[in-house]
Amino acid sequence: MEIGKQYRVFASNKKSFIEECVWAKGEFKDETYQAVTISEVMRNGSYLVTPQNQDELEYLEGGSYQDDDEIFEFDYFEDFEFEESYDGCGIDYAFSGNGMTDELEEELLDDLHEWDDFPDDFFRERDFSDIEYRTYVIGPVDIEDV
């Protein structure tokens, strides 16, 4: 592998490519702050990464030797581009914030189960904003020359 060369990176193990989005509303330190983290497990997915320095190159090289519980972060790289993800096979919701009560959490989950569209639209309609998005792999990655 070399600095400045582009590589396709994807999970070695099925169902270890994770897409995670945080939706929130209200001020962070305010009593009304509510946040929902949506974690969706995908069968797999890939990014194109181009290591820009020795640290990035070593991180990429080490990715294929990671333990099954280690996280490989695509945003570690300065030059990275989402390519694809497919076949969502599980979704989890984590609720947090001073304004998030057990009753509100239960109400949101009940409404989500009846929702026929993407969860993103569900939260937008309720005045939540997406404040963070990341994808990562839990475990080793496979790397191909592009």
Residue 116 clears pLDDT 80, i.e. is over it: no
Q: Where are the domains of the chain?
A: 7-145
User: What is the average pLDDT across 115-132?
Assistant: 89
> For residue 64, what pLDDT is reported?
83
Percentage of the chain exceeding pLDDT 90: 79
The pLDDT score that the predictor gives to residue 140 is 95
pLDDT digits (tens, 9 = 90+) for 15-74: 999 999 999 998 887 788 999 999 999 999 999 999 999 999 999 999 888 888 899 999
Looking at residue 143, its pLDDT comes to 96
Asked if 20 and 133 touch (Cβ cutoff 8 Å), the reply is yes
The CA angle 102-130-101, to the nearest 5 degrees, is 10
More confident residue, 31 or 14: 14
- pTM for this entry: 0.83
Check pLDDT > 80 for residue 117.
Answer: no
pLDDT tens digits along 129-146: 999 999 999 999 999 999
